[in-house]
Chains A and B, each alone.
Chain A
Amino acid sequence: MQTRRETLKQSALVAGLLASTGLFPQYAHAAFNKTAFEAKNVADALKALGAGAPVESKDVTITGPDIAENGAVVPLGVSTSLAGVKQMLILVEKNPTSLVAVFNVTDSVDANFATRSKMGQSSDVYAVAVMADGKTLFAKKEVKVTLGGCGG
């Protein structure tokens, strides 16, 4: 039989454990940013990455098809002509998790990456450039996904 006092003691212990884990969230940018990749929308993903409020910019470009016949393989490219880019991101707004990829740019590579993404449905896709000075710039493009695969 458990007395009320014991129960209280145990719950206090559990609360303490929870608090201590809460005090030490993921070591910032240690490796894979799980929170960002599990974020359900663009704003949350950017916040989890520590990026500021994004501003639309003509200097950032996103390339992709207007109509993708197969949502499982949508070729997307992100690039920018600006200097001082820290990270380039690809996000798909209406995917279950918005963030697709993060590219960490160094002096030895161009801020120009291309890959292929999955898309669940027609949606806006975003190219985001996180600058070394903390600015966050983006470009977006609508990609229509034709499910059923007949094109059109």
Chain B
Amino acid sequence: MADPMRIRAQAAGDKATVRVLMSHEMESGQRKDAAGKVVPAWHIQEVEAKLNGKSVMTAEWGAAVSKNPFLQFNVKGAKAGDKIAVTWKDNKGDTRTDEATVS
């Protein structure tokens, strides 16, 4: 199981800025190891964000997103106390969900 994500959600006016730092290797499938073999791709493919259990955003990522990916987006209508949950799923089927409260 992967390490937890760091999620920070701050309300400003009628929306909240959400910043997520995920912990993932994001291997591109382009690199070669010391023996000259290609290191197989291993990266996050799908990301979903939920506000109080309702899906507000989904994303699909390729291997070109950096290691330990950062993501920032704005959720409309989110206020302090609301729950933001972020889920990712990688190409090996591993998945992780973390939740944060809007402050």
Contact = CB atoms under 8 A, between A and B. Distances in A.
Interface in B32-69: 45-46, 49, 51, 54-67, 69
Interface residues of A, number: 33
Dominant SS among interface residues on chain B: strand
Contact of B56 (A32, A33, A109): A109
Contacts of B77: 108
Interface of B: 15, 26, 28, 30, 45-46, 49, 51, 54-67, 69-77, 91
Given A108-B57, A109-B73, A100 B30 contact: no
Interface of chain A, helix or strand or loop or mixed?
A: strand
Given A113-B73, A118-B28, A108 B51 contact: yes
Contact of B66 (A33, A73, A77, A96): A73
B62 A115 contact: no
Nearest to B64: A100
A101 B43 CA distance: 12
Interface string A77-109: 100000000000000100111011111111111
Contact of A105 (B26, B54, B57): B57
Given A72-B67, A116-B69, A109 B58 contact: no
